[in-house]
Amino acid sequence: MTTPGIPYQQALRAWHAATPATARPLNLPAQALLADFHPDRQPGAMVSLRVGASAGQQCPASLAALLEADSLLEDVDIAGAPVQDADVLIIGGGGAGCVAALTAARAGARVLLATKLRLGDSNTVMAEGGIQAAVGADDSLQRHFEDTLRSGHFVGDKSLVAALVSDGPDAIRWLIQEGMSFDLAGDGQRMGGTLLRKKPGGATAARLLSYRDFTGLELMRALREAVLLQPGITVLDRHPALELLSDGRGRCAGAVLHDLARGRSVLARAGATVMATGGAGRLHLGGFPTSNHYGATADGLVLAYRLGAPLREIDSFQFHPTGIAWPAHMEGALVSEAARSSGAFLVNGRGERFVDELQPRDIVAAAILREIREGRGVERDGQAGVFLDTPTLEQSRPGVLQSGLVTLRHLAHRAGFDPAVVPFLVRPTLHYQNGGVVMDVDGRTPVPGLLCAGEVAGGIHGRNRMMGNALLELVVFGRRAGATAAAHARGCAPRMVGLTHLADWRRALIAAGLPVARKAPMIFPAYGNFDIVSDRERAA
């Protein structure tokens, strides 16, 4: 239970008196800190899956309810539905989906790119801090590899991590060729464009590349423009996937999409399907606010799992340390790790620093939750958090809030204060799905014809993701999955396509005593008041 925190005005006085804050030792081993305070480790946080390829694995209860639900569709629902054929179907219009689509189309494939919202509406645009790649003379692929494995508690698949870091430098070159801008070092223009590098949490070298503090938005801008100009890609906005299609050989043969504008199903048949649907943040696991976009409702996990794809580390989620805690209407909005990378301190209600701000995210988040639970947090209008000391950062680096942390400054303006004068009140927010669908280094899942890329995929980050590896992952494995899908789709025209896999799934649900009345995917959060059945009936 959370102990009442230190009142805001009292905490402000303590912060003023102690500035710059003195460090207080953590006084708790990292593993004990995580065991006692990380949300994944709390009693009752997880349940065991009872059906499917990963039965027996631990999983949050709200996610398990979706993974073990029945389909929204029956065979009759797709009878007479319009059909679109392609070589490669990409499900998801964020960074990973766009990279996969570009790569597949440039390899000669006919690509259909289906998005739940609009092209680019995704978590990618919300990635602020940067992208990692070992491009510095003082860095190496080996160091990036070791940093990533260590930050993930040595659970990550070494072959996937090796692919991630090995492709990193070329991924940055590719992005620059696609038109993405990066920050340059102070004399970068004169020296011909030296990339500015910062040190992210958990890293042993400065390898974080960025564009101000909205790197993901700049990356998505470049990718979106490239997709819209690329021949061979057909984009279907506002077409979420309701079910994957299977053929007589047990392969994935595309998906049933739902046309939100017309309220009807569309059969998208393809020789290869790339799942790039992102994560599960909008499930608000553990009751936490989230930094995730509106469509992050675990659809890809649900559909892939129902078709037989195993999952891994789905009991592990990242809670970003610095989501806004006050004002309440902005709760969960992300204050980029770029602030801490630039030197902003975390300070409790006593004016003390209580953790190395550049420790891995799970440790920093757990340390903040410890301060709040043990009564050293800051309480304001019923909201509890700790201070992110942006005024001291501005004093030590004049102009940094104006030129380098633009998004942070806009957030403060929306909240009604000046970050050069008043610190942010922050607490952890649900941010990233560490695990996901099992895949190999080319994005292939154990289900023939089904690939994945981006946050929906598992195995790269282990039990904690390093800042900057998410944007790198979507480029590296988007390219790999797109190339593999294009090659795989040749000579794999779908045949005998339908929903045959659902019969076995329903038998498994009944045998396990699970309700077939529960349906998934969710499509939109419950507070969106969207009902797929009503939408179809409206169009009938």
Query: In angstroms, rounded to a whole number, what is the distance separating the alpha carbons of residues 397 and 212?
Result: 15
Are the folds of 6-37+319-431 and 75-131+229-316+434-489 the same? no
Query: Mind spelling out the 3-state secondary structure of 30-81?
Result: HHHHHHHHCHHHCCCCEEECCCCCCCCCEEEHHHHHHHCCEECCCHHHHCCC
Task: Quick: pLDDT tens for 246-287.
Answer: 998 889 999 999 999 999 999 999 999 999 999 999 999 999
Q: Is 361 a catalytic residue?
A: yes
pLDDT score of 4: 79
pLDDT score of 370: 97
- Only one residue has tokens 């990378």, namely 341
pLDDT score of 190: 47
pLDDT score of 188: 47
Question: Where exactly are the structural domains of the chain?
Answer: 6-37+319-431, 75-131+229-316+434-489
**How many angstroms separate the Cα of 471 from the Cα of each of 66, 161, 538?**
27, 14, 39
Q: Tell me the backbone φ, ψ of residue 11, rounded to 5 degrees.
A: -65, -40
Closest CA to 100 of 490, 484, 479: 479
How many CB atoms sit inside 10 A of residue 2's CB? 12
Q: Average pLDDT in the 65-88 region?
A: 95
Task: Quick: pLDDT tens for 26-60.
Answer: 889 999 999 999 999 999 999 999 999 999 999 99
Contacts of 134 (CB under 8 A, 6+ apart): 140, 141, 143, 144, 165, 168, 169, 205, 207
Burial tier of 443 (Cβ tally within 10 Å: 0-12, 13-18, 19+):
buried
pLDDT score of 493: 73
pLDDT score of 1: 47
Residue 202 has pLDDT above 80, yes or no: yes
> What rounded mean pLDDT belongs to the chain?
94
Closest CA to 42 of 319, 332, 386: 319
Considering the entire predicted model, what is its pTM? Answer: 0.94
How many CB atoms sit inside 10 A of residue 331's CB? 17
| Secondary structure of residue 143 in the 3-state scheme | helix
pLDDT score of 234: 98
Q: Which residues pair with 520 in a beta bridge?
A: 71
- Only one residue has tokens 């392609």, namely 86
- In this structure, which topology does domain 6-37+319-431 adopt according to CATH? Flavocytochrome C3; Chain A, domain 1 (3.90.700)
Catalytic residue among 269, 361, 380, 479: 361
Residue 448 has pLDDT above 90, yes or no: yes
| More confident site: 126 or 159 | 159
Q: Average pLDDT in the 143-147 region?
A: 98
pLDDT score of 310: 98
pLDDT score of 66: 98
Q: Average pLDDT in the 291-308 region?
A: 97
**How many angstroms separate the Cα of 53 from the Cα of each of 304, 314, 434?**
10, 13, 19
CATH fit for domain 75-131+229-316+434-489, picks 3.40.50.10800, 1.10.10.10, 3.50.50.60, 1.20.1050.10: 3.50.50.60
Share of the chain above pLDDT 70, in %: 97
Confidence of residue 129 (pLDDT cuts 50, 70, 90): confident
